[in-house]
Structure 1
Amino acid sequence: MSVDLKDLETTPTLSLDPFGEAEKEPEVPAAPAPEAVKPAFDESILNDDERKMVDSFAKQIDLTNNNMILQYGAGAQKKMADFSEAALENVRTKDLGEVGDMLSSVVTELKSFDAAEEQEKGFFGFFKKNANKLDTMKNKYDKAEENVTKIVKALQNHQVVLMKDIAMLDKMYELNKTYFKELSMYILAGKKKLQEVRENDLKELMEKAERSGLPEDAQEAKDLDSFCNRFEKKLHDLELTRMISLQTAPQIRLVQGNDTQMVEKIQSTVVNTIPLWKSQMVLALGVEHSRQAAESQREVTDMTNELLKKNAQTLKMATIETAKESERGIVDIETLKQTNESLISTLDEVLKIQAEGHEKRQAAEAEMQRLEDELKNKLLEIRR
């Protein structure tokens, strides 16, 4: 069952009946031999009122009361147990590892945005690629900003919880101081009473038993000595509880210090890292705009110069060709020369063909005359 720190007392109280029980407990067998009484605590940790309370309380202690010995300081021990349970519940329900993971997630998200991502080169795809790069940067920034905003909101919620825990740990520390002083007062009062009984009552009973030699006197001294030994062990248990309380104080401060450091880290992330990242991203987008504008201007200038050079070369070639054509005659001399040579060759061929035809016709006429004469001769031979 969990314990609320608000229900725990914040001022030292001393009581011989912490649980409201007045019944006598069965007598416990006595311990064998008495031990030397330990020196009382230094009373400098107590103020005047607390010293008076201790002295008054010590007078009420009855070492012959079994129930009183059993219950002595039990209330303070119960408070310390309840306090330890509350402290354990606080530590168990808190997960600082989750906060650390969130801080790491912030770093991961911030690193995911790379404003200097390299792009492919080339003039024809330049404008499209630059537009795509800028859109990519904006998309990455929007996505990272959305994730970072969610993480920061969760971190701020944890920050509120941690700050409440820090305040609660202050309360726990003050409670622990109270229980430490209360245990010290129980121990101091008990040691005073124990020392008083051993130096006075027990000493008198032992002397009485030695003088009388009666067994009942010896048993009475033995019983009181057993009560003293039991009460001394009870004080030792209280000293152990007091030591636990003493060790708890630095442990509370260590936990509180861890919480404080985590709150400071969250605060630094929220008020320094995130705004710095956003300003850097805005600058990166602005630089990218300027870079793209300058690169566009450079590409346009280079293309203009290239076009001017190409146009000048084309104009030069066209002008030269036009001038050449304008200086030429309607018919080239070479063409006339070739035509003339071809005409002369044609005439020569025609004359040659005509001469050959004349010769062939003369030969044909002679041949036909021969044939005619041959035919006439043959016909004359038939008439004879």
Structure 2
Amino acid sequence: MNDFIKDTTEIPSLSFGAPEPEPELPVQQPEEKKEVMDDSVLSDEQKAMVNAFVSQIDLANTNGILQYGAGAQKKMADFSEKTLENVRSKDLGEIGDLLTSVVTELKTFDAEEEKGPFSFFKKSTNKLNAMKAKYDKAEVNVNKICDVLDGHQRQLLKDIAILDQMYAQNLNYFKELTMYILAGKKKLELVRSTELRDLQNKAQMTGKAEDAQAAKDLEDLCNRFEKKLYDLELTRMVSIQTAPQIRMIQNSNSVMAEKIQSTLVNTIPLWKNQMIIALGVHHSTEAAKAQRQVSDMTNELLKKNAENLKMATIETAKESERGIVDMETLKQTNQSLISTLDEVMKIQEDGRQKRAAAEVELVQLENDIKKKMLELSAGGQH
């Protein structure tokens, strides 16, 4: 397509073979005006070129008539062929397939989720890791496709600029063909209204065969030139049809470039952001769960410590209020001592009365009392 990059501002030029120089004839308007081609597409300078070129056209120059406008036709034919080659070589279907591949990658990843992009966080850690791995794989595939799409987008933007130049060049060919046709029609009308009419009148007046043949020859030349002009009009119609075709191609390229742009700057970043947000939510959930577990453990430890502290405090208070020897033990010991003393006193009293008679028994009793005292002393210590 780079062959089309030319200076599209050049003014079309007209040429009629290589005829011998001849004096310029004034352009005469026919007596009866006929419908002529619309020349509004031409500038004033180009219209002046058309009027000036009319005098250079020689219907008797067979080679000149044969080559009349042929250069413009050849350029238009080559231009149309190259335009067609450009359309054939531009496989927009490949770009469409790439865009479809991106969507397929994203849908395939999301299709495995039962309740949207966040539902897998309710599953196990192994499942989460598996999803992360799938996301990483999908991201690699998507990035590869996006790299290719980015290259296509740059090429499409270049093609759009070149198509603008192609459109301008096609318009230039259209103007050139229009100028040839306008000049030819004016020449044809001029010859028929002047030279041909004069020859026909002369043939009728003289009745000579050579005069009639001269009129017939000029009329044949006019007819052949008229057919040549019609052929140029067909070529001009190709140029007219090429203009919207170029715009259609350009529009298709623009639409495809916009789709690529939307995919690169909207779809892919949104998909990645969705995953980042999802992972962030999961991490926050896990952190909150861990914090809750720490708080629960702290509260449990505080409760247990408080219970243990309560029990220890109560027992300590009890022990601190308790004497070394229980009061009941002192009472029992005191009573035993009093009883013992009473019994001793009674024994002593009886002993004095019976000492003489029961010396041996007194000794025994004394031993018993000592023994009892020892027992009482031992019991008191416990």
Instruction: Give yes or no for TM over 0.5.
Output: yes
Residue in 1 aligned with 2:84? 88
Q: CA contact under 8 A between 1:54 and 1:189: conserved in structure 2?
A: yes
Q: Percent identity at matched positions?
A: 63
TM-fit CA distance, 1:68: 1.4
Residue in 2 aligned with 1:335? none
Kindly tell me: are residues 241 and 38 of structure 1, through their superposed partners in 2, closer, same or farther at Cα, counting changes over 3 Å?
Answer: farther
Q: Give per-residue Cα distances to partners, 1:273-325, cap 9 Å, x unaligned.
A: 111111111011122334455667889999999xxxxxxxxxxxxxxxxxxxx
Q: Give per-residue Cα distances to partners, 1:161-202, cap 9 Å, x unaligned.
A: 111110111111001100111110000000000000000000
Corresponding position: 1:40 with 2:39: no
Residue in 2 aligned with 1:140? 134
Corresponding position: 1:63 with 2:62: no
TM-fit CA distance, 1:39: 2.4
- State how far apart, in whole Å, the 2-side matches of 1:95 and 1:74 are: 33
Q: 213, 216, 233: which is aligned to 1:219?
A: 213
- State how far apart, in whole Å, the 1-side matches of 2:128 and 2:293 are: 18
TM-fit CA distance, 1:114: 3.3
Kindly tell me: are residues 115 and 232 of structure 1, through their superposed partners in 2, closer, same or farther at Cα, counting changes over 3 Å?
Answer: closer
SS of residue in 2 equivalent to 1:50: helix
- State how far apart, in whole Å, the 2-side matches of 1:128 and 1:237 are: 77
SS of residue in 2 equivalent to 1:112: helix
The two structures have a TM-score, normalised by structure 1, of 0.67
SS of residue in 2 equivalent to 1:15: coil
Kindly provide the amino acid, as one letter, of the partner of residue 15 in structure 1: S
- State how far apart, in whole Å, the 1-side matches of 2:74 and 2:163 are: 20
- State how far apart, in whole Å, the 2-side matches of 1:37 and 1:234 are: 21
SS of residue in 1 equivalent to 2:110: coil
Kindly tell me: are residues 195 and 173 of structure 1, through their superposed partners in 2, closer, same or farther at Cα, counting changes over 3 Å?
Answer: same
SS of residue in 2 equivalent to 1:41: coil
Residue in 2 aligned with 1:186? 180
Corresponding position: 1:12 with 2:9: no
Kindly provide the amino acid, as one letter, of the partner of residue 4 in structure 2: L
Residue in 2 aligned with 1:360? none
Residue in 2 aligned with 1:284? 278
TM-fit CA distance, 1:52: 1.0
- Length, aligned pairs only: 282
After superposing on structure 2, the runs of 4+ consecutive aligned residues of structure 1 that deviate more than 6 Å are 295-305
Kindly provide the amino acid, as one letter, of the partner of residue 238 in structure 2: I
SS of residue in 2 equivalent to 1:43: coil
- State how far apart, in whole Å, the 1-side matches of 2:89 and 2:181 are: 34
- State how far apart, in whole Å, the 2-side matches of 1:56 and 1:247 are: 29
Corresponding position: 1:235 with 2:201: no
Residue in 1 aligned with 2:196? 202
Kindly provide the amino acid, as one letter, of the partner of residue 214 in structure 1: K
The structure showing larger relative contact order (alpha-carbon pairs under 8 Å, at least 6 residues apart) is 1
Corresponding position: 1:151 with 2:145: yes
TM-fit CA distance, 1:112: 2.6
Q: Which runs of 5+ in 1 are unaligned?
A: 24-35, 120-126, 306-384
Q: Which runs of 5+ in 2 are unaligned?
A: 21-31, 116-120, 300-382
Q: Give per-residue Cα distances to partners, 1:109-150, cap 9 Å, x unaligned.
A: 11233398469xxxxxxx996221221121111111111110
Kindly tell me: are residues 98 and 299 of structure 1, through their superposed partners in 2, closer, same or farther at Cα, counting changes over 3 Å?
Answer: farther
Kindly provide the amino acid, as one letter, of the partner of residue 12 in structure 1: P
Q: 98, 107, 110: which is aligned to 2:106?
A: 110
- State how far apart, in whole Å, the 1-side matches of 2:44 and 2:273 are: 62
Residue in 1 aligned with 2:261? 267
Q: CA contact under 8 A between 2:5 and 2:166: conserved in structure 1?
A: no
Q: Give per-residue Cα distances to partners, 1:46-88, cap 9 Å, x unaligned.
A: 2211111001111100011111111111111001011111111
Q: 124, 129, 153: which is aligned to 1:130?
A: 124
Kindly tell me: are residues 158 and 48 of structure 1, through their superposed partners in 2, closer, same or farther at Cα, counting changes over 3 Å?
Answer: same
TM-fit CA distance, 1:41: 1.3
- State how far apart, in whole Å, the 1-side matches of 2:2 and 2:122 are: 67
SS of residue in 2 equivalent to 1:44: coil
Q: CA contact under 8 A between 1:73 and 1:186: conserved in structure 2?
A: yes
